[in-house]
């Protein structure tokens, strides 16, 4: 089973829920941190890393001895990543989406691939938990290809938990697509509600069953709960604002470690999700 | 003309609430919401929309079934597996690269422009605001961010105003890069947590990568004073000026529920005092 933890709004507690859930469930589990722009799960899991892989994407390189300046490459490129300027062809590799169009369109066979670094994937473990994260290279604009690489580490067996990036556009879709369940984490405020609606829109486009965790559930108003009722989204957990939780989070501690009572609640959360997935499946 | 972009790396540190509070204090300013993916500033600004425009972010492949002979070349060439066995293009997966369109031997694939969102010019109680809404599950948020910033600048020029106040997106990827280029300075809003510190370092490195001066303030500083100090020391060691601290204060949430800035909700609160000090230092620096 694959559970993707998403939110729309940032800072609602995705990483808190993902990490505490991952260490609470028994048996074969893995945690994938797909928030490659700002990965934080490892700060709480403290995994022993065993492997680091550089992830690259192919971008064009021009062989000027073969190039006839015909301009076909610039004509096909939708991303303005390759232009003919005077008597030279200039690739802008940061804009390239690696579609391969220019290479195929070139009648003179003057385009070769070279690799642009997207970031790094690291793999490790903590006790029985397998841990994988991706870290986007600073200055790299395109996170979805790296997210998809981290995402591809999800196994068929056991439980995979995905810590998704915030937002509702392509990076989030890359982290949610193919999951069996999306757990939306929100806070009961106007910002939380507004972004929850957007996130739910994305979940509905992908047609994945979902449930809600309300974090800092006693700050704000009742509108998130009213909305969840109207939309028939089950509220699976509420985490009240507790200065002890906020402070232990600030130190990089798991809730289930500083307040062990919470472990059973996260086990219960997993059981509820498993029941919903079984019912829907 | 100056532009201050408010960013954070980590989401939920208070960018939007702070931008709104600055809007209350600022003069001769145009507001810009560059977080087009999950825009929230309008919830505090109650903008009255004056102009509404479509955002066309790119093209989308559409197979004309009458012309298609199902040769399968498009499926073979598509790097995004966006075309299924029945020759339907999945709009969510289509990257808009046009490779299938270009090479289809039957010329059976159309490539219409698609509307991926909307952008607006609005009036608010603090002045003009440019904002946008990217369609759910859409791409090209960077292009929409660039467009919104460009329109904000144009509007400020027309109105003879000299400050652009921009609420930035979280992260360090495409939309953040689009929100930084050409800015006078960025203010990084940090929360005193291990995650906040980690994410500040990455976004500070991004600002340095693009040669944009960065300043730092710590929000909810009293949740962890040791971490606050560590963040401030680290920021200074990276040549970033530390502009001040804001205490953890439930009035941020209370004001948000009322659709107000913290200054409208309770001007005497400790949070307001902290924000006012930070704003004074920003105006001196700009």
CATH 3.40.190.290 is the classification of domain A2-55+119-280 = no
pLDDT at A12: 97
Are residues B91 and B215 located together in one domain of the fold?
A: no
Q: In CATH, what is the architecture of A64-109? A: 2-Layer Sandwich (3.30)
Contact B38 A243 (CB under 8 A): no
List helix spans (H) across chain A: 14-24, 41-45, 72-76, 101-105, 144-151, 170-176, 190-206, 223-230, 243-250, 255-258, 262-280
End-to-end CA distance of chain B: 10
Which residue of chain A is at minimal alpha-carbon distance from B139? A170
DSSP A203: H
Contact status of A166 with chain B (Cβ, < 8 Å): yes
Q: What is the pLDDT of residue A276?
A: 97
Q: What's the whole-number mean pLDDT along residues A128-139? A: 96
Categorize the per-residue pLDDT at A281 as very low, low, confident or very high, splitting at 50, 70 and 90: confident
Give the residue-averaged pLDDT of A76-87: 94
**What pairs with residue A89 in β-bridges?**
A84
Closest CA to A108 of A161, A177, A48, A62: A62
CATH of the domain at B196: 3.40.50.300
Cα–Cα distance list, B109 to A90, B61, B100, B102, B189 (Å): 28, 6, 7, 8, 47
CA distance A177 to A281: 16
Residue numbers of A between 60 and 99 with CB closer than 8 Å to B = 76, 78-79, 97-99
Name the residue in chain A with its Cα closest to that of B111. A78
Q: What is the mean pLDDT of chain B?
A: 96
DSSP code, position A127:
T
Looking at the fold, whether B44 and B96 belong to one and the same domain comes out as no
Nearest beta carbon to residue A78 from set B13, B38, B97:
B97
Report residue A73's pLDDT band, with 50, 70 and 90 as the boundaries.
very high
Mean pLDDT of chain A, nearest integer:
96
Q: Between residues 199 and 228 of chain A, which touch chain B (CB distance below 8 Å)?
A: 201-202, 205-206, 219-221
Write down the pLDDT at residue B57.
86
Taking only the tens place, the pLDDT of each residue in B111-159 is 999 999 999 999 999 999 999 999 988 877 899 999 999 999 999 999 9
Whether residues B160 and B221 fall in one domain: yes
Burial B212-245 (b: 16+ CB within 10 A, else e): bebbbbbbbbebbeebbeebbebbeeeebbbbbb
**What is the CATH number for B86?**
3.30.70.20
pLDDT of residue A254: 97
- The answer to whether residues B88 and B203 belong to one domain is no
ipTM metric: 0.95
The whole-number pLDDT of residue A37 equals 98
**pLDDT category of residue A111 using cuts at 50, 70 and 90:** very high
pLDDT band with cut points at 50, 70 and 90 for residue B90: very high
Within 21-80 of B, beta carbons closer than 8 Å to A belong to: 37-38, 40, 43, 58-59, 77, 79
User: Which residues, at least 6 apart from A280, have a Cβ–Cβ distance to it below 8 Å?
Assistant: A209
Query: In whole angstroms, how far apart are CA A269 and each of A9, A126, A156, A164?
Result: 21, 21, 21, 18
* Mean pLDDT score, B79-89: 96
pLDDT confidence of residue A200: 96
What average pLDDT does this structure show over B195-213? 97
Which of A105-109, A269-273, B110-114, B139-143 is predicted with the least confidence, judged by mean pLDDT? B139-143
DSSP B24-50: HH-SSEEEEE---SS--THHHH--EEE
Q: How many CB atoms lie within 10 A of CB B125?
A: 12
Among B77, B173, B174, B192, the residue to mutate for chain A (most A Cβ within 10 A):
B173
For residue A156, what pLDDT is reported?
A: 79
Q: What's the number of domains chain B is made of?
A: 2
Same domain, B88 and B122: no
* pLDDT value, residue B137: 83
CB contact under 8 A, A190 and B58: no
- A168 and B136 in contact by Cβ < 8 A? yes
Residue B19 and residue B91 in one domain? no
In chain B, residues 104-133 whose CB comes closer than 8 Å to chain A: none
What is the reported pLDDT for B53? 98
Enter the tokens of residue B260: 């107000």
User: Both B86 and B222 in a single domain?
Assistant: no
Cα dihedral sign, B45-A168-A211-A134: negative
- The minimum CA-CA distance between B136 and chain A, rounded to whole Å, is 6
Residue range B255-265: mean pLDDT, rounded: 98
Interface of B with A in 145-184 (CB under 8 A): 169-174, 176-177
pLDDT of residue A130: 96
Contacts of B96 in chain A (CB under 8 A): 78
> Is the domain of B80 the same as that of B202?
no
Which chain B residues have a beta carbon less than 8 Å from that of A17? none
Q: Is the pLDDT of residue A26 over 80?
A: no
Residue B98 shares a structural domain with residue B193: no
> What range defines the domain where residue B211 resides?
2-56+117-285
Mean pLDDT value of segment A149-174: 93
Indicate yes or no: CB of A189 within 8 angstroms of CB of B16. no
Q: Does A189 score more than 90 pLDDT?
A: yes
Give the residue extent of every domain in chain A: 2-55+119-280, 64-109
Q: Are residues B73 and B168 in the same domain?
A: no
- Same domain for B84 and B220, yes or no, is no
The verdict on B93 and B210 lying in the same domain is: no
């Amino acid at each position: 089973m694959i559970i993707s933890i998403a939110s729309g709004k940032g800072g609602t507690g995705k990483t808190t829920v993902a990490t505490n859930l991952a260490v609470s469930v028994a048996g074969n589990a893995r945690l994938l941190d797909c928030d490659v722009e700002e990965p934080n799960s490892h700060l709480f899991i403290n995994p022993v890393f065993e492997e680091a892989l550089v992830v690259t994407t192919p971008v064009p390189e021009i062989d000027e001895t073969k190039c006839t300046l015909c301009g076909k490459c610039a004509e096909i490129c939708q991303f303005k990543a390759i232009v003919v300027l005077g008597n030279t062809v200039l690739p802008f590799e940061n804009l390239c989406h690696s579609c391969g169009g220019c290479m195929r369109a070139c009648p003179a066979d003057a385009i070769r691939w070279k690799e642009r670094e997207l970031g790094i994937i690291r793999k490790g473990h903590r006790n029985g938990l397998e841990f994988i994260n991706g870290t986007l290279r600073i200055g790299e604009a395109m996170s979805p290809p790296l997210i998809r690489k981290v995402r591809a580490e999800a196994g068929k067996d056991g439980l995979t938990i995905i810590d998704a990036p915030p937002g509702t556009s392509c990076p989030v879709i890359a982290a949610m697509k193919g999951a069996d369940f999306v757990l939306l984490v929100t806070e009961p405020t106007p910002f939380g509600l507004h972004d929850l609606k957007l996130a739910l829109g994305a979940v509905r486009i992908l047609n994945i069953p979902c449930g809600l965790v309300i974090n800092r559930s006693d700050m704000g108003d009742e509108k998130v709960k009213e909305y969840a009722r109207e939309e028939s989204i089950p509220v699976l957990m509420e985490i009240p604002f507790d200065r002890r939780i906020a402070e232990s989070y600030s130190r990089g501690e798991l809730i289930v470690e500083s307040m062990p009572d919470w472990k059973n609640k996260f086990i219960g959360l997993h059981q509820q999700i498993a029941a919903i997935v079984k019912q829907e499946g | 003309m100056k532009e201050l972009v408010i960013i954070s790396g980590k989401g939920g540190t208070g960018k939007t609430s702070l931008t709104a509070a600055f809007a209350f204090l600022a003069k001769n300013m145009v507001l810009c919401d560059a977080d087009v993916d999950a825009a929230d500033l309008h919830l505090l600004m109650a903008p009255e929309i004056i102009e509404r425009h479509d955002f066309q972010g790119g093209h989308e492949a559409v197979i004309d079934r009458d012309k298609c002979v199902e040769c399968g070349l498009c499926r073979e060439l598509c790097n995004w597996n966006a075309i299924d066995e029945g020759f339907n293009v999945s709009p969510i997966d289509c990257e808009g690269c046009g490779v299938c369109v270009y090479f289809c031997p039957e010329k059976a694939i159309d490539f219409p422009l698609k509307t991926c969102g909307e952008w607006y010019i609005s009036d608010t109680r603090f002045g003009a605001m440019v904002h946008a809404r990217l369609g759910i599950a859409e791409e090209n948020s960077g292009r929409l961010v660039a467009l919104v910033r460009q329109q904000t600048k144009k509007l400020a020029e027309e109105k003879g105003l000299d400050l652009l106040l921009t609420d930035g997106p979280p992260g360090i990827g495409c939309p953040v890069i689009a929100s930084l280029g050409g800015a006078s300075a960025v203010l990084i809003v940090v929360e005193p947590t291990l995650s906040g510190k980690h994410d500040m370092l990455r976004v500070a490195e991004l600002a340095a990568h693009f040669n944009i001066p960065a300043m730092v303030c710590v929000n909810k500083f009293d949740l962890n004073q040791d971490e606050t100090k560590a963040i401030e020391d680290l920021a200074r060691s990276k040549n970033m000026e530390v502009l001040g601290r804001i205490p953890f204060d439930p009035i941020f949430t209370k004001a948000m529920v009322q659709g107000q800035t913290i200054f409208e909700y309770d001007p005497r609160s400790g949070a307001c005092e902290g924000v006012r000090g930070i704003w004074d230092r920003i105006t001196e620096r700009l």
